[in-house]
Amino acid sequence: MSFHSLLPRPRRVEHAPGQLTLDIRTSVGGEPSVARWFRRHVGAATGLPLPLAAKPTIEFRIDHGVNGHRVEIGPEHVLVTAQHTAAAHHAAQTLRQLLPPDAFRRAPVRDEPLSLPCGVVEDHPRFGWRGCHLDVARHFLPKRDVLRFVELLAMHKLNVLHLHLTDDQGWRVEVPQYPELTRIGSWRARSEVGRAEVPEHDQQPHGGYYTTEDLQEIVAYAAEHHVTVVPEIDVPGHSQAAIAAYPELGTGDPVPVWDSWGVSDRILAPRRATVDFFHDVLDHVMAIFPSPVICLGGDEVPGATPAHGALLRRLVEHVHARGRRTSAWDDAVQLTTLPQGTIVLAWQDPQAIARAAEAGNDVLLCPETHFYLDHRQSDHPDEPVPVGHLNTLENVYDYAPPTERVLGLQAHLWTEHLDSAARVDYAAFPRLCAFAEVAWSAERDPAEFQHRLVHHHLPRLDAYGVEYRPLDGPYPWQLRPGVAGRPR
């Protein structure tokens, strides 16, 4: 591999003659957690022992005076100098990309010498928040698939996993104080299939949830990859699963967990008891997730009243009183005045940035038109479940984000039509590769990105086992014949 194969694109590279050969004598050391990560993952793929050593071949050194990281590769030694541990981990990902694509396998497949090109890479990210939202409420993803998705985010130097844990169609987080949330709220009797004008349903029950220990494992594993997990408990709308479990949270007759897509009109009753209930839920969630940010949704609340805005604000204040920040979708500003410190997720309204700035709030840019990766990737009739806007790989890459009062960027995977890890792979990749470069790289070149993607990065995804969408259209087994979409 060469320095021109890296994705996201680094800020500066300097080539030098020669190469460093990795063999049984190659050792790693320096910053302990990154050295262990490199030994574990690259060692498994290459079959090399990569022992930890005091004077290692590959050294990860922390220097708070560095901006980002600097990788210097010589014929005998690799020195990584990084601003902090996360930057050192990004450098480790760079080194892995400089090896052949087989470095992304889980076991060695070739008995061939491996080498790193000599030279220097200096790099740091454009945005501090480079996130991806994963909806596990509409379709549950088993823990193993979430852990795998964490690895894929880290591979692309993304650093936030926004985990959408609750919605009308399912409640996915165990709360021991309220066992009905998972006994009843975590599964539905059937699911809508596609988005036909006349809704069609399968007759397959769907469900699942994460225990407290499952979520603690996800958080710990993500931390090893320098990914922060931001949990979302969506209120006061998108709450039918919670109302199904505890009907007193809503109004009207009892309802089941919703089996259709879209926006349910069953929303939380703005009562003191509802606030107390979600205080307990949020305290449990904050005990699991050390994330400095907790998302409270606030989006798409049909029939909302000022009392619903007051409910949301009281829950935001509860989280802030415990030393955390909250985030909420830009719809929430129509419900209530969000307290300072709340992060606005700007998904639909270009004016959200200006309004947030006036209110003293920061913004995450996640425009539906560019960063919603569940939307259809082409207008070809074979595109499986063609919903939403046309959002091509090129459209993702072309997004030009403003930077004032913007914490960062976030891509989104809503899973109404993504019912397996394979379908998530298909929707996410390679568009998430383009998103990663937009979020990381200060300079971009569409033609050069396409070359790196095709000739260098897709082979890495192949080696890792990602079932991405081929650039020229889906494979036959990726089609969903007969499943209607609803393109916009």
Report, as residue numbers or ranges, the catalytic residues.
300
- What does the longest C-alpha to C-alpha distance in the chain come to? 74
The H or E element spanning position 146 is helix 143-155
Q: What's the CA gap between 247 and 227, in Å, rounded?
A: 36
At 234, is the secondary structure helix, strand, or coil?
strand
User: How far apart are the C-alpha atoms of 354 and 479, rounded to whole Å?
Assistant: 42
Distance between CA atoms of residues 384 and 233, nearest Å = 30
User: Is the dihedral angle over the CA atoms 277, 283, 287, 292 positive or is it negative?
Assistant: positive
Torsion of CA 135, 136, 138, 140, to 10 degrees: 150
Find the radius of gyration of the CA atoms of the chain: 23
SS3 373: coil
Residue 222 main-chain phi, psi, to 5 deg: -65, -40
Closest by Cα among 344, 222, 208 to 290: 222
Token pair of 367, please?
């425009």
Q: Which two tokens stand for residue 427?
A: 């929707």
The dihedral through the CA atoms of 102, 108, 110, 114 has a sign that is positive
Instruction: Enter the tokens of residue 94.
Output: 């760079």
CB 449 within 8 A of CB 417: no
Dist. CA 286–CA 229, nearest whole Å: 11
Collapsing DSSP states into helix, strand and coil, what is residue 106? coil
Distance (Å, rounded) from C-alpha 366 to C-alpha 168? 22
**Contact assessment for residue 49 and residue 27, using Cβ atoms and an 8 Å cutoff:** no
Q: How many CB atoms lie within 10 A of CB 387?
A: 21
